[in-house]
């Protein structure tokens, strides 16, 4: 892959670095839990799963934080640039909140309740973004 500028190369390097950081955290979560002495060995698997899911939620929040900062060149847009930018800000805000709520659910709720509630949180976030997309695709009144 060829990069047109140093800025593109730096952006790609940052993205790869961020992805590797989250992957390393997810791989290390079970090992971190294993060596924490304050948890019983019986709770080890539960806390390893919780920590992994918290990291996934933080990944969603990080992704939501980066979305509004990703600028699409105006020449590539075939629609109103202000509406696209507003959608990216809304999408980023919703995804940050979804990721933080997803993490909180896995930290606070009992394990058997956390999974369905976390999936509900994700579904609500996806629905909110999809509804906004449909609303923005409607003809803009002038």
What is the pLDDT, as a whole number, of residue 98?
A: 96
The burial class, CB within 10 Å (0-12 / 13-18 / 19+), for 117 is middle
What is the pLDDT, as a whole number, of residue 22?
A: 75
Is the confidence at residue 109, as pLDDT, over 90? yes
What is the pLDDT, as a whole number, of residue 1?
A: 53
The pLDDT tens digits for 123-137 are 999 999 999 888 877
C-alpha torsion 37→40→46→48, nearest 10: 20
Average pLDDT over residues 82-86: 78
What is the pLDDT, as a whole number, of residue 48?
A: 76
The band of 74, judged by pLDDT with boundaries at 50, 70 and 90, is low
Provide the whole-model pTM: 0.72
Report whether 93 contacts 132 (CB < 8 A).
Answer: no
Per DSSP, which regions of 81-137 are E strands?
none
């Amino acid at each position: 892959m060829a990069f047109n500028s140093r800025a593109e190369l730096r952006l790609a390097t940052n993205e790869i670095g961020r992805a590797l950081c989250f992957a390393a955290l997810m791989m290390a979560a079970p090992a971190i839990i294993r060596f924490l002495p304050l948890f019983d060995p019986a709770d080890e698997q539960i806390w390893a799963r919780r920590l992994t899911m918290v990291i996934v939620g933080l990944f969603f929040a990080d992704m939501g934080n980066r979305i509004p900062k990703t600028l699409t060149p105006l020449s590539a847009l075939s629609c109103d640039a202000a509406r696209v930018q507003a959608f990216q800000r809304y999408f980023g805000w919703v995804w940050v909140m979804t990721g933080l709520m997803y993490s909180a659910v896995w930290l606070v709720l009992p394990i058997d309740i956390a999974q369905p509630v976390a999936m509900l949180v994700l579904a609500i976030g996806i629905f909110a973004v999809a509804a906004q997309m449909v609303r923005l695709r409607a003809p803009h009144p002038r």
